[in-house]
Amino acid sequence: MTTCRFAPSPTGFLHVGNLRTALFNFLFARKSGGCFILRLDDTDPERSRDEFADAIRFDLEWLGLEWDRLERQSARLDRYRTARDDLLASGRLYECFETQAELDLKRKKQRRLGRPPVYDRSALQLSETERQDLRASRPPHFRFLLHRHRAAWQDGILGETSIDVGSVSDPVLVRADGQFLYTLASVCDDIDFGVTDVVRGADHVTNTAIQVQIFEAMGGGVPGFAHHSLLTGRGGEALAKREGSLAIRDLRAAGVEPMALLSHLARLGSSHPVVLRGSVTELAAEFDLSRFGAAPAKFDPEDAAGLTARYLATLPVSAVSSDLAALGVPSAEAGAFWGAVRENIRTRSDIDHWWKFCTGGAEPLVDSEDAGFVAEALDLLPPRPWNSGTWSSWTSRVSEATGRRGRRLYLPLRKALTGRPQGPDMSKLMPLIRAAPEWPERRQANP
Ligand code: GLU
């Protein structure tokens, strides 16, 4: 069965960059009816925090990216210990004793000599006595002994990909303080959880070359790999370096709708145009990794905002019934009210403005050159109740009386009634307007 995982480290909030990875894995798994695992890479006790783990889960739930299985690396330390011992026994893991300062010095020397700063494996030259002496003075860290050949794989996005492992240092898999590093833990997990496909950012390409060797050394099946390009900000800047994050929680606070964001990210950077979809099932059905390119893709929050407005305009009243109820819209009026406003809001929080308007009116906006015209028109305003024909019969009478037509007729009247130059269809809005003290009718009585 196709099994994918999204493996964030709970060291920060989810942002659009990691969401793209989550979404690709989710859609890939769902498309083939497979399994989607949420794995929290929390082996670093200092940087991992429960509040971030909770926030990541909350964001994914809000987005509707439900996982079939949740795993935490911090609960699997015994497994990583066994893997360490097995790799030591097979000679693929070796003890090293250099301090950070010693390693820095070595790298400086190598650079001076024009050599790549690759670890020189001097720990392998130590005699058993030297090793024992060192063990007494400092705890060892452990490196994986790489085969120094060129690693090649058929990447699900990049196509034929190869990396010269000869220019990569043997990776540290276990730190001197005993902490297991992601490079090892991730491979153990991918093997144990039956992960068949790994989709992750292009910043992991070298890791893949290394991890393929660890999979093989541990006798596990090597999954398929696909590396997507990284997202940048509007100006092409790396998201991490961008002023202010593009955190999912910030986008949510700005009113972005999950399906607008997901529809955008499911196509951004691909050869398919962005199409607004109403469910993740639809996105999964048409998801195709091979359509994505290697070039970085620009994320502009304005696009997600525009799609949000378009998405809201498609929603039936049943999808916003709780929002309307919370504002006090009676259910008998909900359908008509939503039908009037849904194409004129950017976010759900804009609904409030129009309900307040219906129940309390608005401060009229009357340009000085229109003052006489508006006063004359208000005199012609028919008495309540108003219905869907009121706007057209009233504006016809006003037109006959004043000779105004088109924009010069409608715009000042819209501004006088709603206080804004744009908004919902007035024929739909007028029947919803309740009498209110500030309403022009009263001004009419006391000009
Ligand atoms: N925790 C790793 C990261 O967030 C996971 C990478 C992977 O998908 O293997 O970069």
Give, for all 447 residues of the chain, the pLDDT tens digit.
999 999 999 999 999 999 999 999 999 999 999 999 999 999 999 999 999 999 999 999 999 999 999 999 999 999 999 999 999 999 999 999 999 999 999 999 999 999 999 999 999 999 999 999 999 999 999 999 999 999 999 999 999 999 999 999 999 999 999 999 999 999 999 999 999 999 999 999 999 999 999 999 999 999 999 999 999 988 888 776 555 668 999 999 999 999 999 999 999 999 999 999 999 999 999 999 999 999 999 999 999 999 999 999 999 999 999 999 999 999 999 999 999 999 999 999 999 999 999 999 899 999 999 999 999 999 999 988 899 999 999 999 999 999 999 999 999 999 999 999 999 999 999 999 986 545 555 454 444
Task: Return d(Cα 24, Cα 28) in angstroms, integer.
Answer: 6
For 30-86, the pLDDT digits (tens) are 999 999 999 999 999 999 999 999 999 999 999 999 999 999 999 999 999 999 999
**Distance between CA 13 and CA 255 in Å, rounded?**
18
- Token pair of 379, please? 């005199």
DSSP state of 74: G
Strands 224-228 and 197-201: parallel
With a Cβ cut-off of 6 Å, ligand 1 is lined by: 7-9, 41, 182, 186, 200, 204
∠ at Cα 9 (37, 101), nearest 5°?
Answer: 140
Distance 317 CA to ligand 1 centre (A): 40
- In the numeric block, the tokens 């989810």 are attached to 14
Q: How many CB atoms lie within 10 A of CB 133?
A: 12
Q: Are 364 and 419 in contact (CB under 8 A)?
A: yes
Angle separating helix axes 205-217 and 182-192, nearest 10 degrees = 60
Please give the Cα distance from 252 to 245 (Å, whole number). Answer: 13
Closest CA to 246 of 177, 318, 298: 298
195 near 201, Cβ under 8 Å? no
The pLDDT tens digits for 354-380 are 999 999 989 999 999 999 999 999 999
Q: Which residue owns the Cα nearest ligand 1 atom 4?
A: 8
Q: Which residue from 6, 19, 182, 227 has its CB within 8 A of the most atoms of ligand 1, so it is best to mutate?
A: 182
CA–centroid distance, 7 to ligand 1, in Å, is 5
Ligand 1 pocket test: pick from 200, 205, 212 the residue with the most ligand atoms within 8 Å of its Cβ: 200
Query: Do β-strands 150-155 and 159-164 pair in parallel, antiparallel, or remain unpaired?
Result: antiparallel
Residues 396-440: tens digit of each pLDDT: 999 999 999 999 999 999 999 999 999 999 999 999 998 654 555
| Ligand 1 atom with minimal separation from the 6 CA | 8
Is residue 376 within 8 Å of residue 402, measured between CB atoms? Answer: yes
Kindly give the number of the ligand 1 atom that is closest to the alpha carbon of 200: 8
The conformation of residue 344, written as its DSSP 8-state character, comes to: G
